[in-house]
């Protein structure tokens, strides 16, 4: 049997639902019978974050239809009836086994062919499995992954049978951290195992990670870092009873949750479309190397205008929503005969967030450059029930490249997002936050320094440092005229040299500067070589 549609959305995740809504809303919308969605899942598109943030909770758990798209963006709830009402055909529980982009034909597992004029690829990503890394007995019934509604349903059932028992969580990223919190909420003891030095190491600095690890530890979670699970002990029925680490240690396990990353579902288009960054390469319009094919969500590798056109691929719900909307906008511009805009990339502000226990953080931008931490990082701070509030600002070339904020209000999060998008100086961001009633001493010194973000002659830096006799090996930094600056200088000196610094002959006037790459402290020859570079940009 053969079917034909003007528009086909391949995939049934977040991006699929948002693309469908945008197609219906754009201009006169699509006519009944012009659009179909093909998904190997048995349900209509839904908000995937609900699986780790709501579905597994012991009380008030999220259930469909409450989290169908597009409620995550405070928009319409697209139940199955909505698709029917708009003449959109849903091919659910349907797997596509081959794609011929030249002939514009998809072939399903049941032998049906589907022709399209325009294809939107929203195939997302799949969870990496332990067996891909040679871990034996990792297909046991009580070993759980979390990527689909089916996965969540299985995990919820396994958790019920393990109440009061032990769980081993493998992985220290998003899924590991959020699932560990859900397990604790279900009164299950948790041991987290991962190979890195700290959790969420692709985003968190060691200082940020330390806070969350301490917070989790206070909830009873045990962290086993720089370790790997290599096998499992099982019963005769195949259920896991223990996880065995590479060093031979055995961890009791009534259940196992695996969150070791994901891989974009690109196989159907390998050798047919251009690939990059583990995904399908698209331009700023989400258009692939085939003009009739677009890719969105986890599978799309696109140039980010904010990052100078650098190609990135983001596995996050915000990216799925926004790239879906952008693709439809581009498709309809083409359909309407509108002139295609030349652009360096998609106007997208990278965004990530998480909510665990009573905590809630957001991150905007790119974690490149030097992080400046601010706020109170103690696990217990303020009056009982007070939420911690802290963060980090990544400074690159004197400008804000990215900001992480825990416990921010809506207004505060909007302020840091605006600072990142506008590539503000850190001092300007500090002033904006202060105007909203949020002041951090760690950012104040940056706000007071008048040359922040400016290039000054390198020789000036040498003169200031030489005058104060405080030149030490390290990176370029500065401190404002505060008691904290002296204390910071002493800490930096001790961390670099293993001993206390000599007492400063006088308080720091404006700043203390350390120049990188000059070798031993006070090595005049190397310093002079360094200062021959024409300029230096202050943070």
What span, in angstroms and rounded, lies between the C-alpha atoms of 307 and 312?
Answer: 9
Mean pLDDT across the chain: 84
Handedness of CA 471, 476, 480, 482 (dihedral sign): negative
**pLDDT reported for residue 138:** 86
Residue 174 has pLDDT above 60, yes or no: yes
Q: What is the pLDDT of residues 230-254, one digit of tens each?
A: 999 999 988 999 999 999 999 999 9
Backbone angles phi, psi at 403, to 5 degrees: -140, 135
**Residue 148 in this model has a pLDDT that exceeds 50:** yes
Residue 158 has pLDDT above 90, yes or no: yes
CA distances from 380 to 88, 215, 387, 388, 440 (A): 52, 9, 9, 8, 18
Please compute the mean of the pLDDT values over residues 452-469 and round it to a whole number: 37
Kindly indicate whether the domain formed by 2-125+263-335 is annotated with CATH number 3.40.190.10: no
Among the four given CATH numbers 3.90.220, 3.40.50, 1.10.3470, 3.30.390, the one describing domain 366-409+420-448? 3.30.390
Per-residue tokens: 509: 């006037």
Residue bearing the bigger pLDDT, 178 or 527: 178
347 to 8, 68, 142, 406, 468: CA distances (angstroms): 25, 27, 43, 25, 45
Tokens describing residue 146 = 């979390």
User: For the chain, where do the domains classified as CATH 3.30.390 start and end?
Assistant: 366-409+420-448
pLDDT tens digit sequence for 272-320: 999 999 999 999 999 999 999 999 999 999 999 999 999 999 999 999 9
**Which pair of structure tokens corresponds to residue 291?**
């003009």
In this prediction, residue 132 carries a pLDDT of: 93
Average pLDDT over residues 105-120: 98
Report the C-alpha gap between 486 and 275 in whole angstroms: 51
Residue 137, phi-psi category: left (phi > 0), alpha (psi -120 to 50), beta (remainder): left
The string of DSSP codes covering 484-501 is HHHHHHHHHHHHHHSSPP
Q: Over the stretch 382-420, which tens digit does the pLDDT of each residue have?
A: 455 568 999 999 988 778 999 999 999 999 999 999 999
Range from 72-86, 339-353, 455-469 carrying the lowest mean pLDDT:
455-469
Higher pLDDT, 438 or 91: 91
Task: Reply yes or no on whether the pLDDT at 462 is more than 60.
Answer: no
Mean pLDDT of 46-67: 96
Share of the chain above pLDDT 90, in %: 69
**CATH 3.50.50.60 residue ranges for the chain:** 2-125+263-335, 130-260
Confidence of residue 429 (pLDDT cuts 50, 70, 90): confident
Q: What is the rounded CA–CA span in Å between residue 125 and residue 298?
A: 6
Give the whole-number percent of the chain exceeding pLDDT 70. Answer: 79
Judging by beta carbons within 10 Å of its beta carbon (0-12, 13-18, 19+), is residue 61 exposed, middle or buried? middle
pLDDT(536) > 80: no
Residue 175 parent element (H or E): helix 174-185
Q: Across-strand partners of 98?
A: 107
What pLDDT is stored for residue 518 in this prediction?
A: 31
More confident residue, 122 or 512: 122
Q: In this predicted model, which residue has the larger pLDDT, 520 or 242?
A: 242
pLDDT in tens, 7-43: 999 999 999 999 999 999 987 779 999 999 999 999 9
What's the confidence (pLDDT) of residue 436? 74
Cα(153)–Cα(148) distance, integer angstroms: 9
Q: Is the pLDDT of residue 191 over 60?
A: yes
**pTM confidence score:** 0.82
130-260 folds as: FAD/NAD(P)-binding domain (3.50.50)
């Amino acid at each position: 049997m053969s079917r034909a549609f003007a528009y086909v959305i391949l995939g049934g995740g977040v991006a699929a639902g948002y693309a469908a809504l945008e197609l219906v809303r754009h201009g006169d919308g699509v006519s009944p019978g012009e659009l179909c969605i093909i998904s190997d899942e048995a349900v209509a598109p839904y908000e995937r974050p609900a699986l780790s943030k709501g579905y597994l909770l012991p009380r008030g758990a999220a259930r469909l239809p409450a989290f169908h798209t597009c409620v995550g963006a405070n928009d319409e709830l697209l139940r199955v009836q909505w698709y029917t009402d708009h003449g959109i055909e849903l091919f659910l529980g349907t797997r596509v086994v081959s794609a011929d982009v030249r002939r514009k034909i998809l072939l399903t597992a049941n032998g049906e062919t589907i022709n399209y004029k325009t294809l939107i690829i929203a195939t997302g990503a799949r969870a990496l499995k332990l067996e891909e890394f040679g871990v034996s007995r990792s297909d046991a019934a009580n070993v759980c992954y979390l990527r689909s509604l089916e996965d969540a349903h299985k995990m919820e059932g396994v958790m019920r049978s393990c109440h009061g028992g032990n769980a081993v969580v493998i992985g220290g990223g998003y899924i590991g951290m959020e699932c560990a919190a859900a397990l604790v909420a279900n009164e299950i003891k948790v041991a987290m195992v991962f190979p890195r030095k700290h959790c969420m190491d692709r985003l968190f600095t060691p200082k940020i990670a330390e806070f969350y690890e301490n917070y989790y530890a206070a909830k009873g979670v045990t962290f086993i870092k720089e370790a790997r699970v290599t096998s499992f002990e099982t019963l005769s029925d195949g259920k896991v009873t223990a996880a065995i680490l590479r060093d031979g240690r055995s961890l009791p396990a009534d259940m196992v949750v695996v969150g070791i990353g994901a891989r974009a579902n690109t196989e159907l288009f390998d050798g047919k479309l251009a690939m990059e960054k583990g995904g399908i390469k698209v331009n700023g319009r989400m258009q692939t190397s085939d003009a009739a094919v677009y890719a969105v969500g986890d599978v799309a590798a696109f140039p980010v205008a904010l990052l100078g056109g650098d190609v990135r691929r983001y596995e996050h719900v915000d990216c799925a929503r926004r790239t879906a909307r952008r693709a439809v906008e581009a498709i309809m511009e083409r359909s309407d005969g509108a002139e295609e805009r030349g652009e360096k990339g998609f106007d997208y502000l990278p965004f990530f967030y998480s909510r665990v226990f009573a905590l809630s953080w957001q991150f905007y931008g790119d974690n490149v450059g030097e992080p400046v931490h601010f706020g109170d990082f103690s696990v217990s701070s303020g009056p009982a029930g007070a939420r911690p509030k802290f963060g980090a600002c990544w400074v690159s070339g004197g400008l804000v490249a990215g900001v992480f904020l825990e416990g921010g209000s809506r207004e505060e999060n909007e302020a840091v997002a605006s600072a990142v998008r506008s590539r503000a100086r850190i001092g300007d961001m500090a002033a904006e936050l202060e105007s909203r009633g949020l002041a951090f001493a760690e950012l104040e010194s940056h706000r007071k320094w008048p040359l922040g973000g400016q290039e000054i002659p390198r020789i000036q830096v040498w003169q200031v440092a030489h005058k104060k006799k405080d030149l030490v090996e390290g990176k370029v930094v500065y401190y404002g005229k505060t008691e904290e600056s002296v204390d910071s200088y002493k800490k930096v000196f001790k961390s670099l040299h293993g001993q206390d610094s000599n007492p400063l002959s006088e308080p720091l006037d404006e700043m203390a500067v350390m120049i990188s790459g000059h070798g031993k402290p006070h090595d005049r020859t190397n310093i002079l070589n360094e200062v021959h570079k024409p300029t230096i940009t202050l943070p």
